[in-house]
Amino acid sequence: MDLLQLKYFQTVARREHITQAAKELNIAQPSLSQTIARLEDDLGVTLFDRLGRNIRLNEAGRIFLQHVERAFSELEKGKREAVRITGKYEEVITVASIHLPFVSEMLASFVAKHPETRFRFQQGCYNSMKQLLKDREIDLCLSAPPIELPNTTSIPLLSEELRLLLPVSHRLASRESVHLIEVEKEAFIGLKAGFGLRDATDEFCRKAGFTPNVIFEVEDPALLHKLVRAGIGIAFIPALWDMDNTDPATVAVRIADPNCFRTISLTWLERQELSPSFERFRIYVIEYFHKLQQRLASAASPGGEHPRSIIGLERLK
């Protein structure tokens, strides 16, 4: 029995699918079958039930997997400890996020406080982040809506209003709020399908009773302001994206009906043991968003209190 066999077993056990596990491990499926067979032979027990052309982790396999997970966790801990005493300690946290204008600022302020932590950051759409989490290529991600997958935990961080971004010359630009149905004939600028925001706004339009006429699809959310300013169409804009907007050529108008809110969530991989850096960062993100929610609330109704609770912070406590 060696570490490679155990690593292969762990992957197959998590997926219960030899071909998919082989793809994940970048080896050929027959080789993986043989490795698992050798491991079973070494142990003298079968770890998987062969059900026709499918395999399923059996009771012995489940118990063995628990020990393997614990062993890898211990080894990882040992590696961290060993590297730490050399003074070259460096931990990498892999993060993915939907486009959020303040993420770079958030990461920068964390790194300033914890220079020993390194990050690998990538921005993506909802579907790509879900795949990255599923493939365990990232530790945690910020998304809207929350990503639901086995072996992950997700908590809501912030609820934000979506508004309509209009050029100042638009007939509704001077209004305090509009009903969504009032813009059913308008040309929309939207994100491409697969972005959580696009799915959410399509759903809001459907609730209002129409299908948006999206004449311009973009991948870069930063283009929304520019295209609206150019008079190409109107767009949905999350309140946070517009909070610091000083562009005099555009205005974000609130939507009175339907209620257009989205929830930004934090999702992370469940592990035997969360590293101290990971745990620090997780708590930092929750607190950061708590402050953002307060900023949003005071911007929306100065002096008033935002009615929505921050579940993430409550669960943190």
Q: Determine if 3 is a binding residue for DNA (CB under 7 A).
A: no
Taking the least distance from each CB to DNA, the nearer of 58 and 275 is 58
Taking the least distance from each CB to DNA, the nearer of 2 and 74 is 2
Q: Determine if 60 is a binding residue for DNA (CB under 7 A).
A: no
Instruction: Give the pair of three-digit tokens for residue 70.
Output: 């614990």
Residue 116 C-beta: closest distance to DNA, Å: 34
Among the listed residues 31, 66, 109, 309, the single contact to DNA using CB under 7 A: 31
Among the listed residues 10, 11, 35, 154, the single contact to DNA using CB under 7 A: 35
| Long-range contact set of residues 101-106: C-beta below 8 Å, sequence gap at least 24 | 101/240, 101/241, 101/244, 102/240, 102/292, 103/142, 106/285, 106/288
Q: Which candidate, 33, 27, 63, places its Cα nearest to that of 47?
A: 63
Question: Which 3 state secondary structure label does DSSP give 312?
Answer: helix
Residue 312 C-beta: closest distance to DNA, Å: 37
Q: Determine if 1 is a binding residue for DNA (CB under 7 A).
A: no
Buried b (16+ CB within 10 A) or exposed e, 54-80: ebebeeebeebbeebbeebeeeeeeee
Please tell me the total number of residues recorded for the chain in this structure.
317
Residue 12 C-beta: closest distance to DNA, Å: 8
Residue 126 C-beta: closest distance to DNA, Å: 25
Taking the least distance from each CB to DNA, the nearer of 26 and 211 is 26
CA 97 to chain centre: 5
Which residue carries 């365990």 as its tokens?
136
Among the listed residues 6, 13, 47, 55, the single contact to DNA using CB under 7 A: 55
Taking the least distance from each CB to DNA, the nearer of 39 and 107 is 39
Strands 91-97, 117-123: pairing kind: parallel
Site for DNA in 265-294 (CB under 7 A): none
Judge contact between 132 and 24, C-beta under 8 A: no
Among the listed residues 34, 131, 153, 298, the single contact to DNA using CB under 7 A: 34
Among the listed residues 9, 10, 13, 18, the single contact to DNA using CB under 7 A: 18
Judge contact between 297 and 304, C-beta under 8 A: yes
Rounded CA separation 276/283 (Å): 11
Compute the radius of gyration of the chain from its Cα atoms. Answer: 24
Which of these ranges, 15-23, 58-66, 111-119, 286-294, lies near DNA under the rule CB under 7 A? 15-23
Q: Determine if 157 is a binding residue for DNA (CB under 7 A).
A: no
Q: Which candidate, 196, 204, 202, 205, places its Cα nearest to that of 263?
A: 196
Q: Determine if 4 is a binding residue for DNA (CB under 7 A).
A: yes
Q: Determine if 52 is a binding residue for DNA (CB under 7 A).
A: yes
Residue 47 C-beta: closest distance to DNA, Å: 11
DSSP state string for 131-186: HHHHTT--SEEEESS----TTEEEEEEEEEEEEEEEETTSTTTT-SEEEGGGGTTS
Among the listed residues 33, 122, 245, 263, the single contact to DNA using CB under 7 A: 33
Taking the least distance from each CB to DNA, the nearer of 21 and 180 is 21
The amino acid at residue 151 is: N
Q: Determine if 56 is a binding residue for DNA (CB under 7 A).
A: no
Residue 269 C-beta: closest distance to DNA, Å: 23
